[in-house]
Amino acid sequence: MGYALAEAARTVSPHVVMVSGPTALTPPAGVEYAPVTTAQEMADAVFARFDRCDIVVMAAAVGDFRPKQTAGSKIKKGVFRGVLELEPTVDILAELGKRKQSQTLVGFAAETDDLLANARAKLQKKNLDLIVANAAGAFEAKTNAVTLLFSDGRVERLPELMKRDVAAAIIERVLKLRT
């Protein structure tokens, strides 16, 4: 979905930046591409660019947790103690919501339960202008059916569409928020 959004944004702006973790997808032509591999690298890349952005769309979240300690080499089965300690990663979207000044901030909510209620709570908690709610099973699909929840209380359900069409609809709605 993020790659489809970057492509849709590129059709309306010559200045699009896409920060992405590892994937087999090819970045859209004409988009500034910032590849990252860790949650901290993603946070650093996004925060470094945020002040120069008018619109930020965060289509996916990094993992909520990371290993507390990392090994410099492969851990053999006989050496592993059976306990993996985790620590939270930075919540990039929440931090952007705190830093937001004139930017339009869009997030996604992929949920397995209580989709709209959880999305609405995330919209408010993270100071978003728009949240795109979709079922968690949409990740590998070529299509998506989403519900758009706006900060003013409006709700718009889009039918199941190809992801590029969902992306175009989202970008269109975001541009209307800016006018």
At 138 the pLDDT is 64
Check pLDDT > 80 for residue 159.
yes
At 72 the pLDDT is 85
Check pLDDT > 70 for residue 137.
no
d(CA 96, CA 159): 29
According to CATH, what is the number of the domain 2-64+85-178? 3.40.50.10300
d(CA 176, CA 139): 27
Host H or E run for residue 40: helix 39-50
Neighbouring-strand partners of residue 105: 56
At 6 the pLDDT is 97
Domain spans of the chain, in order of start: 2-64+85-178
| DSSP helix, strand, coil percent of the chain (3-state; round to 5) | 35, 25, 45
pTM score above 0.85: yes
Q: What is the pLDDT of residues 66-123, one digit of tens each?
A: 889 888 898 888 888 778 899 999 999 999 999 999 999 999 998 888 999 999 999 9
At 84 the pLDDT is 87
At 139 the pLDDT is 66
φ, ψ of residue 107 to 5 degrees: the values are -125, 175
At 8 the pLDDT is 97
Q: What is the pLDDT of residues 14-67, one digit of tens each?
A: 999 999 999 999 999 999 999 999 999 999 999 999 999 999 999 987 888 988
Asked if residues 103 and 79 have their Cβ atoms less than 8 Å apart, the reply is no
**pLDDT bucket at 142, cuts 50 / 70 / 90:** confident
At 25 the pLDDT is 92
The 8-class DSSP code of residue 136 comes to G
φ, ψ of residue 176 to 5 degrees: the values are -65, -35
